[in-house]
Amino acid sequence: MEKKYRGLGKRCAQKDSGKTLAYLGSAAAARDMVALAEYFDPGVQEINYWGISYGSMIGFIFVNMFPDRLAHDLLESGADLSGTYTSAQAANISTAPCTAFDVERVR
How many angstroms from the chain centroid is the CA of residue 95?
A: 21
Number of domains making up the chain: 1
pLDDT at residue 107 tops 50: no
The 3-state DSSP class for residue 1 equals coil
pLDDT at residue 79 tops 70: no
For the segment 19-67, what is each residue's pLDDT rounded down to a tens digit? 777 788 889 999 999 999 999 998 888 999 999 888 888 999 999 999 9
In this prediction, residue 19 carries a pLDDT of 78
Residue 57 lies in a domain: yes
Task: Compute the average pLDDT of residues 3-28.
Answer: 80
Separation in Å, CA 49 to CA 7, 39, 76, 94: 33, 16, 11, 31
Task: Compute the average pLDDT of residues 84-107.
Answer: 55
Residue 7 lies in a domain: no
How many angstroms from the chain centroid is the CA of residue 1?
A: 17
Domain that holds residue 36: 25-83
DSSP state of 98: H
- Cβ atoms of residues 33 and 4 within 8 Å: no
Residue 5 lies in a domain: no
